[in-house]
Amino acid sequence: MSNYQTLLYYCYSHIENAEQFAVDHLEFCKSLNLVGRIIVADEGLNGTVSGRPEDCKSYMEAIHADERFAKTEFKIDEVEELSFIKMHCRYKPEIVHSGLRDPKEIDPNIQTGIHLEPKDFMEMKDRDDVVILDVRSNYEHNVGRFKNAVTLDIENFREFPEKIKELEQYKGKKVLTYCTGGIKCEKASALLLKEGFEDVYQLHGGIIKYGKEAGGKDFEGECYVFDNRVTVDVNSVNPSIISTCKNCGTISSKMINCANALCNEHFTQCDACGWEMNGCCSDACKAQPNNREYDGTGYYVKVPQPVNLDKISKRKHKNFPPKAEVEA
């Protein structure tokens, strides 16, 4: 048995006074010695937490005991080290930023794509009347994606609504959407249905569940995750690596952030180039005088920034609830 577990989960369920819930939930997580990142919004929860198996078990039991979150499905990974350094739980307007002026335009509890279990997704994905759609960002699908998947040139999911017009050619097909754990597909498939796509599906539990229940067959590369592991293997059937080093083109799945904090580009870089470039993406960044010290990981702990009281005041005047001090 591994020393720790990492839990990935989400639940679309209305939370009254969600901002206070976030404050209370943070203290609850800390009482269980968990570390991780949880986003709380009026529409629900989106989280990844890590801790000892007994503490993770207590957390899952508490979540399921709350009738608002009883349907929550946890993806559980056995890990040798904690996947986070600290525990963060923050209130935001949405648990996944949709990019819509009015996020209430879509509600996954009312309309969303048909959920496909991993084995059903695997059986359908290669049919002639099917298109597989990756709804994740560039840095995610560059390091791993399903064979023959359609990918979108987006830096963040909030850009997805603007890209739907590029998918018009697939309106006559069954569209199978997928993402890391399923949460983005809930909104992506709802948006597709809203725009006139008729046969829209989503991979239930995302790539992570597909790896556990279907062996990850035909998922090329590795799956990007939003914790200290950065990427994880999901394909035990026909694994491969598809990403290449930005600097030399060598096959590599290692992703880092540029040591130049003003750049901070998230990219693939092999170990050799990492040391040669001091963890920078380019010679221009390497030449900067105040770069972060590269230790071979390319992972840098965020330094909390001072609270901007003027910014908070302006948000209040616009009737936006204040966000937590540190971005998730």
Query: How far apart are the C-alpha atoms of 239 and 71, rounded to whole Å?
Result: 32
Please enumerate, as own/partner, the contacts of 287-290 that have beta carbons within 8 Å and a separation of 24 or more: 288/260, 288/262, 290/261
Residue 112 CA: distances (Å) to CA of 73, 145, 209: 17, 22, 19
Q: Which residue among the candidates 29, 179, 258, 285 is catalytic per the annotation?
A: 179
Greatest pairwise CA separation for the chain in angstroms: 56
Grouping H, G, I as helix, E, B as strand and the rest as coil, residue 139 is: helix
CA-closest candidate to residue 234, choices 8, 4, 17 = 8
Query: How far apart are the C-alpha atoms of 176 and 203, rounded to whole Å?
Result: 7
Is 179 known to be catalytic?
A: yes
CA-closest candidate to residue 174, choices 257, 113, 260, 222 = 113
Query: How far apart are the C-alpha atoms of 18 and 23, rounded to whole Å?
Result: 9
Interacting residues of 169 by C-beta distance below 8 A, sequence separation 6+: none
User: How many other CB atoms are there within 10 angstroms of residue 244's CB atom?
Assistant: 17
Query: How far apart are the C-alpha atoms of 16 and 248, rounded to whole Å?
Result: 51
Residue 96 CA: distances (Å) to CA of 4, 108, 188, 295: 27, 12, 10, 32
Query: How far apart are the C-alpha atoms of 61 and 216, rounded to whole Å?
Result: 28
Q: Which residues participate in catalysis according to the annotation?
A: 179
